[in-house]
Amino acid sequence: MNVFEIKLQKRVNLYLILFFLVNILLSSCITQRKLEYLHDKDKNEKSFEIVGVEEYTLKPNDNLFIHISSQDDAATNVFTNTSRQTTTNLDPYSASLQSYTIDQNGYLDLPIVGKILVKGKTLNQVSVIIKEAVANILNQPMIYVKLVNRYVTILGEVRSPGHYPVAQEKLSIFEALGFAGDITEYGNRNSVVLLRTVEGKSIRVVLDLTKSKILSSKYFYLSPNDILYVKTSRGKFWGLRPFPFTIVLTAISTYFLYLNYIGK
């Protein structure tokens, strides 16, 4: 191999090294835009029609906390699992200990009242059914029904993944991510997976949180027992931070060392 071929080979090797380093930086670098929510080309004010939240319908194995009160306190004690219990500031664990479970056939078994079919009904409908059932027993009954197993599960690239109880009736996807401390810099915000069970079937939906149109999506508000999974971006594969200064400096040092080598 002559001198010209040696220099040509060295130059080709240099180009290959530089191409490899640049490809790593470009493919794995996490830009600020990838970390932003709700960004659009149009910066003007926009309005989005809010999609109504479908009222949850009960299914087998749901747990219901039921509080029955009336002017006859002695009679209402028959319907409670424990002694008189206030419904204010009731934590999920305490409520679960005093809850009634819907059986596999969709029935709820209450003292005195007996079995009532609640599968496919809303909490308000169950409240009306119970009130009508005890109307001849209690004086001016008041019924409070709450779904105990109201949780969302958040997994993947979030700061605090876990199983979170939900108190409010309406919970947006951003509020749920707030429970988990937000998505990390490695999380893929334009590919968040939502898993939901509907009428015995599991559905999977991929949501893009970087676009404002998510605000009008029917999946913007979560349902009880939904699961969110935040995928990992390619940047984590290379172990890079949003701004990989260490890798950049290493690449530059390597470049000058190689130039010094071929110059000898």
pLDDT of residue 244: 55
* Whether the predicted pLDDT of 185 surpasses 60: yes
Which of 104, 99, 62, 49 lies closest to 197 in space, CA to CA?
Answer: 62
CATH classification (class only), 63-147: alpha beta
Q: Is 1 helix (H, G, I), strand (E, B) or coil?
A: coil
Nearest 5°: phi and psi at 143? -115, 135
Mean pLDDT for 208-223 is 92
Question: Where is pLDDT greater, at 209 or 259?
Answer: 209
Which of 200, 208, 199, 204 lies closest to 226 in space, CA to CA?
Answer: 204
- The dihedral through the CA atoms of 166, 172, 176, 178 has a sign that is negative
Question: Where is pLDDT greater, at 32 or 83?
Answer: 32
Superfamily of chain region 33-54+151-238 = Outer membrane lipoprotein wza domain like (3.10.560.10)
Mean pLDDT for 183-191 is 91
Question: Where is pLDDT greater, at 61 or 20?
Answer: 61
Total Cβ atoms within 10 A of residue 221: 19
* Whether the predicted pLDDT of 1 surpasses 60: no
Of 92-106, 108-122, 183-197, 232-246, least confident by mean pLDDT is 232-246
Angle in degrees, CA 121, 173, 163, rounded to 5: 75
Question: Where is pLDDT greater, at 83 or 218?
Answer: 218
Question: Where is pLDDT greater, at 200 or 81?
Answer: 200
Nearest 5°: phi and psi at 46? -125, 155
User: CATH 3.30.1950.10 region(s) of the chain?
Assistant: 63-147
pLDDT of residue 83: 38
What confidence tier does 158 reach under pLDDT thresholds 50, 70, 90? Answer: very high
Total Cβ atoms within 10 A of residue 141: 21
Task: For residue range 45-98, list pLDDT tens digits in order.
Answer: 677 777 777 788 999 999 999 888 887 666 666 666 543 444 445 565 566 667
Total Cβ atoms within 10 A of residue 133: 17
Of 90-99, 147-156, 189-198, 221-230, least confident by mean pLDDT is 90-99
> How far is the C-alpha of 206 from the C-alpha of 228, rounded, in Å?
10
Mean pLDDT for 118-145 is 91
* Whether the predicted pLDDT of 263 surpasses 60: no
Q: Which amino acid is at 26?
A: L
- DSSP structural state of residue 158: B
User: CATH 3.10.560.10 region(s) of the chain?
Assistant: 33-54+151-238
- The full length of the chain comes to 264
Averaged pLDDT score across all residues of the chain:
79
* Whether the predicted pLDDT of 32 surpasses 60: no
Q: Is 231 helix (H, G, I), strand (E, B) or coil?
A: strand
